[in-house]
Chain A
Amino acid sequence: MPLRNAHPSVRAGGAGRTDEALPPPAERRSPRPVRGSRTERLAPYVLIAPTALIILALRLYPLLLGVNFSFTGDGERNGTAVGVDNYRELFGDPLFRTALGNVGLLVLLLPVAVAIPGLLATFIYLRVPGHRLYRSVYFFPAVLSPVIVGAIFNLLLAFDGPLNAALSRAGVSPVDWLGDPDVAMFAVVGVHVWATFGMALVVFLAGFATLDSALLDAARVDGASLLRVIWHVIIPRLTRTIQFVFVTTMIGMLTSMFGLLYVMTSGGPEGSTYLPEYYIWIQQGQMNRPALASAASTVLFVIMLVVGLLQITLLQRAGRDD
């Protein structure tokens, strides 16, 4: 064990026997030069400097530039300060308000997006017939890119597509899944959930692995129904897993819907499926309004900051409970 011998101090507190081999603490500290203590004091700063500088130069500085840029004008007013004009325009734009409203809708739909993988993971854990097959089948969509998923569902959900054909055979009148403003957002979110729940399912299954099966057996012996088992045993024991899935699903919904929206609806119909990201992209790329897009980015950043802080609090609290 040459390594361990080279750093005896690491093990110092561990075993009483090794204490004899070491000089007393005071003696150990005294021969160290004063310079060394300063080096030691500076060492952490030096060590985090690369990370800190990278964050500062490549994250925070551009962020400041972007925020600053959002207070300048577009087009003819390029480079001149315009105060909060961009923000006023932004909140006066019904399209941006729709986009913000859709963020709220996503938050409201979050429980559904978490419940689906949770429920399916429960079934797999309870070994319903064919659970091995389902485990891989459920995960499969998670490996597809949003563009491919979007293209597949564009075909399936087309007005003259197979889903509507099946509905009409069942005597239900066809639904314009991606052309009806009241339906389109739900259709896209549904597809997003379908495409991403595999990952959450895996996390749930990992959570189940830590579940004490004796508790389940005890509940069964007591004659508890499936619903009661889920409510009184599984959910309380998986609180941390559920919270974690909530946080990651939220992040996924707020940050990675762009590809699907782009392919499936292009923000339409009637602008009903706009999200802030898509709005930013349209303003910057199509409308040539980079400063307005900056303002929208700043608003999105603030929203994400608030959501992020809430999530950190949530996770910390969950950690403390444990």
Chain B
Amino acid sequence: MRRRSLWSAVLVAGLTVAGCGSATGSDQSSGGSTDKLVVWDWKSGEPSAASYIEKAKAGFAKKHPHVTVEFVAQPFDQYYTLLGAAIQSGKGPDVMLFNGGGQIRDRVDALVPLDEYLTEDKQRLAGWEAFTKDGKTYAGPVTLQGHPIYYNKALYEKAGLDPATPATTWDEFLADCGAIAKAGADCIALGNKEGAGIQFWLSALGSGILTAQEYDDWIAGKRDWTSPHVKQVFELWKQAGDQGLNNDGANSTAMFNDSFALFQSSKAAHVIGLMSDVGHWKDFNEFVTPDKLGVMGAPVVTAGTTPSLAYDGGIGYGVAKWTKEPKVAADLVRSLTSTEALTAFYADAGAIAADTTIDVSQGGPAAAAIVAGIKTGKPALHVALSSKTLDLMGRLSQQLLSGSTTVDEVVKQLAASDKAA
């Protein structure tokens, strides 16, 4: 009898402890110490980032010689899972790397607003918007990420097209695709296995489809999914698939890096790539030499639109709420975004850095064209969507390619998901 009551007491105690609110706990006690800063990222382990990290460390050591900095490189595909666990426990790194947009906005509860520490950098760096929520900035941008349309000038020549004047309208683009198909290559290298192809499509072509007003409204959160122009984005996606503009088996082709490999190996003439990290001009240069690699603006679909480069802050470092001295951690963020450090990152990794004062004239015409587009560029359309809507859009885009759904149904479902988010 006594034993049974003991057991019930243990059980009740356990349930009471469990019943007290969430398992996350509200205790955000410190995980850091003042003489050591721990940085989490997925970049510092890469050889091409070595001199960037070194320069940033040196810059920080000048300001805070007694603080040691430890970089912990996490595998990217596990990064947000690991970070999520750290945030849930209220302990973790002092400074952490984030992708701009949804990934950081979903987690600002765990971050310190950095506006007061980073005022001096506001002019020099671009891409702040992607790290901002409700008017507060939560990270210093390191790179810019965007979606230029790259094209292979050698394939243009082979197809009898002028590589210096790529198509500026959708009809011209379709005509060029026809010529390229005759030359034996696919028009677009598309990898939609992860469902990311549609995101790139939306952002790279959006400025030629949506009117300037619709574009700005979209970014501001007033998205009209019933607008014929929004529908057209998905209609053209379907059209490109139906007309065989894409490589075969796009739904089972991984964007990273099979679709980029198709472009690099000259099996497809166009690819919507990235500006930084992977799938960018420097990556492509390995096989498509700088003089054969071009960057074109979005073909105009809706008359009167002015195509612009879609880009946002790519990755940036934020400071955790539980760090002991946010000022010191913010100084590390400043060192990680200094001109000197970012120049090294641009030169070695080919990233288009957030620092607009870096000289890119050595990078070839593609890099120059991208940097020239930054001034008139706008935030990418897909970055404004929640990760849930993006996930749904990925699956729906696969259905559009396989023909198992209609554009109307896609737009309807996305509108519902976007509204709920």
B252, A78: Cβ atoms closer than 8 Å:
no
> Complex Cα distance A66/B23, Å?
7
Q: Whole-angstrom distance between the alpha carbons of A181 and B109 in the complex?
A: 38
- Stretch of A18-26, A111-119, A277-285, A307-315 that contacts chain B: A277-285
Q: Known contacts A64-B15, A79-B24; decide if A269 and B398 are in contact (CB<8 Å).
A: yes
Residues in A neighbouring B81, C-beta threshold 8 A: 281, 284-285
On whether the beta carbons of A282 and B18 are closer than 8 Å, the reply is no
Residue of B nearest to A285 (CB): B81
Tell me the smallest distance from the CB of A57 to a CB of chain B, in Å. Answer: 10
A95 surroundings in chain B (CB, below 8 A): 395
Closest to B3 in A: A45
Q: Are A268 and B251 within 8 A (Cβ)? A: yes
Most buried by B among A95, A176, A270: A270
> Which range holds the interface residue count of chain B?
35 or more
Q: Is the CB of B84 within 8 A of A285?
A: yes
Q: Contact: A270 with B395, CB < 8 Å?
A: yes
Residues B371-409 near A (CB distance < 8 A): 387-388, 391, 394-395, 398-399, 402, 404
Complexed CA–CA distance, A213 and B35 (Å): 75
Q: How distant is A127 from chain B, measured CB to nearest CB, in Å?
A: 41
Partner of B23, one of A65, A184, A285: A65
A146 to B253, CA, bound (A): 20
B10-50 toward A: CB 8 Å interface, digit per residue (1/0)?
00001100110111101000000000000000000000000
Asked if A287 is at the interface of the complex by the 8 Å CB criterion, the answer is yes
Query: Quick check: is B248 within 8 A (CB to CB) of the other chain?
Result: yes
In the bound complex, residues from chain B placing their C-beta under 8 Å from that of A207 are none
A288 at the interface (CB under 8 A from B): yes
Q: Which residues of A contact B80 (CB under 8 A)?
A: 285-286, 288
Q: Chain B nearest CB: distance from A105 CB in Å?
A: 18
A160 adjacent to chain B (CB < 8 Å):
yes
The answer, yes or no, to whether A141 is at the interface (CB within 8 Å) is no
Decide if A249 is an interface residue (CB 8 Å cutoff). no
| B388 proximity list for chain A (CB < 8 A) | 287
Q: List chain B residues, Cβ under 8 A from A259.
A: none
Determine whether B305 belongs to the interface, using a CB cutoff of 8 Å to chain A: no
C-alpha gap A79/B23 in the complex (Å):
8
B306 at the interface (CB under 8 A from A): no
Q: Complex formed: what's the CA distance from A178 to B254 in Å?
A: 11
Cβ contact within 8 Å between A268 and B24? no
Instruction: Please tell me if the beta carbons of B23 and A69 are within 8 angstroms of each other in the complex.
Output: yes
- Mask: chain A, 44-87; 1 = CB below 8 Å from B; 0 = not: 00000000000000000100111011001001001110000000
Is B193 at the interface (CB under 8 A from chain A)? yes
Q: Which of A271-309 contact B (CB under 8 A)?
A: 271, 281-282, 284-288, 290-291, 294
Say yes or no: A179-B249 contact (C-beta < 8 A), given A79-B26, A281-B81, A284-B81: yes
Q: How far is the CB of B253 from chain A (nearest CB, A)?
A: 7
B21 touching A79, Cβ below 8 Å: yes
Q: From residue A175, how far is it (CB to closest CB) to chain B in Å?
A: 10
Chain A residues in 8 Å Cβ range of B253: 158-159, 179
User: Would A287 and B391 be within 8 Å (CB), given that A176-B251, A176-B252 are in contact?
Assistant: yes
B391, A61: Cβ atoms closer than 8 Å: no
Q: State the Cβ distance, A70 to closest chain B Cβ, in Å.
A: 9
A68 touches B18 (CB 8 A): yes
Is A265 interfacial (CB-CB < 8 Å)?
A: yes
Q: A180 at the A/B interface (Cβ < 8 Å)?
A: yes
In the complex, what residues of A have CB within 8 A of residue B273's CB? none
B250 at the interface (CB under 8 A from A): yes
Assess whether B235 is interfacial by the CB under 8 Å rule. no
Known: A79-B21, A79-B24, A268-B398. A158 touches B249 (CB 8 A): yes
* B340 CB-CB contact with A under 8 Å: no
Knowing A65-B18, A65-B23, A269-B252, say if A288 contacts B398 (CB, 8 Å): no
> Known contacts being A66-B23, A79-B22, A290-B88, is A266 close to B109, with CB within 8 Å?
no
Contact status A159-B252, CB under 8 Å: yes
Instruction: Assess whether B124 is interfacial by the CB under 8 Å rule.
Output: no
Interface residue ranges of B249-284 to A (CB < 8 Å): 249-254, 258
5 residue pairs bridging A and B, Cβ less than 8 Å apart: A179-B402, A268-B194, A268-B395, A270-B402, A286-B387
6 closest A-B pairs (Cβ-Cβ)?
Answer: A159-B249, A179-B252, A285-B81, A179-B251, A69-B23, A79-B22
Which B residues contact A (CB, under 8 angstroms)? 14-15, 18-19, 21-24, 26, 78, 80-81, 84, 88, 106-107, 109, 193-195, 248-254, 258, 387-388, 391, 394-395, 398-399, 402, 404
